[in-house]
Amino acid sequence: MVLLVAAGAYSSLGYSGNDAIASHYMTKGEWSDSVCGGCHFDVYENVNNSYHVQVNMSRWSPLTNFDLETSGEEEWVKEFGMYHPGGGPLAKYGIDIDCMMCHEKYGLYDFDARAEAIANGNFANANSLAVANFSATAQTDPLHLFVYAANVLTPYPLLIVFHDAVNGAPTSCAQMCHRTDVETSAVMWADEEAFEESDAHAANGVECTACHHTEAFIITSDHQIGRGNASDSPDLPDSHYDDTMRSCDDAACHAGISHGPFADSHMEFLACEACHIPELPGGDLPGGNVLESFSWQNGEREDVYRDSDFQPALAWYNGNSGDVLPSVDTRNDTDVMVTPFNNITGTWWDAGTDPEVLANPNTSISTGDPIPVQYVKAADANGDGEVTVEEMQAYDADGDGQADYPNAVLRTVELYYQVAHSIVSSDIGLADPYTCKDCHGNESVIDWAALGYEQDPGGESSAVKSIAVTYDRPRPVEVEREPAL
């Protein structure tokens, strides 16, 4: 009833004929304050201010090794704009927020057409090319046409009949936005069937937004999608949205579950994923391959992939913040949990201007001062395709007779990319969840030394403990009866 009243109150705002009504039905895929804003109030501003849109273009990643200062913003847009919903830093290049990227209802949004247009610098037409098939279908949809015709005859538009199927959150972000997650976290979501076979949540119909929920499940939601504290996307102080997603023991999820007193005592320091992601897939996966290592030593990324299923690394972790590499913590840090990761070895050149990096290039978590790849390529003085320390330290880009990178170091760092999907249960997934004997005893899967222990802290006796699953049960109803005597 509330929505019907809202539709009646706001539906005619900005109408000036059939074209305006067609816009209202979103067949053009464009935002309009006069058309969309009537019902969706501050949604455009909320989306535009969300962390998905307000991406930090200058933040450096060892995976992409993109230097904004030397390559420029426009090149950043061409290379990474396909993964961005538009607006924010892309707005000045003519790529506005595209609501249909998430909310198109026919499954006809053409991500590839949008990506190709952006890569070719055809920014202004990128969004319209993506919704071309959707627009044609929407304008000939029988239900759409019926609602359009009925609105001419009724005082209250029937927009909600058509709109209900549109305004839901997407069931998957795998088509483009999070496609690259395959190489770091071995997710299988690029193929629905494969994902359901590898993840217990997916198999049971749990959609992304059930865990990654927004502030409220209404049309005026702030679009700050719930997130954890992923090691490869540390927050800066002014954009801290970590730990805004549902936890496993949330009231809407697994509240009240127990694995018995011995296992439950681990919950203060052991993440659920540590036992429920015992194995990750390797080989050719839907959407790509999983990285084991990569190197930028010679100016282009050279990759080594995991060719078979593998066990995630377990490490202490309490979240990252600031300009740091994907890294983990130690046993003595505050509020740390044993958490699973895909451990990827990365190699790249650094100018050596950061004293910490210069002293400990392979163990420092500082991003340091990476040398842009175009300079790395140019430093190959003898043209043999291999850049040496001597060549990099002697390189003179501006021809002033002075070496530009006299302290250059080749860093080789163990990078930790957190994994949180591929959750297994007793009957779904690549392997069974870990039990006590998997972690304790003679055949432990845990590297205790890496976790800061000299030996198994639980001892072999822990291997035989039970972890039978139970849930809190309500107290039986007491029946009042008259005394027998």
Which tens digits make up the pLDDT trace of 423-471? 999 999 999 999 888 988 888 889 999 999 998 887 766 555 556 666 5
Spell out the SS3 assignment of 58-98.
CCCCCCCCCCHHHHCHHHHHHHHHHHCCCCHHHHHHCCCCC
* Structure confidence at residue 203 (pLDDT): 94
Task: Indicate if the pLDDT at residue 113 is higher than 90.
Answer: yes
Whole-number Å distance between alpha carbons of 254 and 216 = 20
Burial of 216 (0-12, 13-18, 19+ CB in 10 A): exposed
Counting residues of the chain whose pLDDT is more than 90, the rounded percentage is: 49
- Long-range CB pairs of 461-465 (<8 Å, 24+ gap) are 462/262, 462/436, 463/436, 463/437, 464/436, 464/437, 465/260, 465/262, 465/263, 465/436
Alpha helices in 259-330 (DSSP H): 261-264, 272-276
Question: Which of 75, 108, 105 lies closest to 93 in space, CA to CA?
Answer: 75
The string of DSSP codes covering 290-306 is -EEEEE-TTSS-EEEE-
Residues with Cβ within 8 Å of residue 108, at least 6 apart in sequence: 133, 134, 137
**Taking residues 287-315, what's their average pLDDT?**
97
Lowest-confidence region among 62-71, 214-223, 225-234, 395-404: 214-223
Question: Which of 243, 276, 46, 39 lies closest to 159 in space, CA to CA?
Answer: 39
Whole-number Å distance between alpha carbons of 69 and 353 = 17
Task: Indicate if the pLDDT at residue 217 is higher than 60.
Answer: no
Beta strand 257-258 pairing with 470-471: antiparallel
Based on C-alpha coordinates, what's the Rg of the chain? Answer: 27
**Taking residues 347-365, what's their average pLDDT?**
98
Task: Indicate if the pLDDT at residue 260 is higher than 70.
Answer: yes
User: Phi and psi of 292, rounded to 5°?
Assistant: -105, -35
Whole-number Å distance between alpha carbons of 80 and 144 = 35
**Taking residues 373-384, what's their average pLDDT?**
96
Give 27's pLDDT tier (boundaries 50, 70, 90): low
Q: Facing residues of 417 across strands?
A: 342
Task: Indicate if the pLDDT at residue 46 is higher than 90.
Answer: no
Lowest-confidence region among 189-198, 387-396, 475-484: 475-484
Question: Which of 44, 480, 391 lies closest to 219 in space, CA to CA?
Answer: 44
Lowest-confidence region among 87-96, 293-302, 436-445: 436-445
> 3-state DSSP call for residue 416?
strand
* Structure confidence at residue 165 (pLDDT): 56
Stated pTM of the model: 0.85
* Structure confidence at residue 1 (pLDDT): 47
Longest dimension (CA), the chain: 110
Whole-number Å distance between alpha carbons of 251 and 385 = 57
Task: Indicate if the pLDDT at residue 158 is higher than 70.
Answer: no
Task: Indicate if the pLDDT at residue 479 is higher than 80.
Answer: no
CA 234 to chain centre: 12
Question: Which of 160, 95, 155 lies closest to 129 in space, CA to CA?
Answer: 95
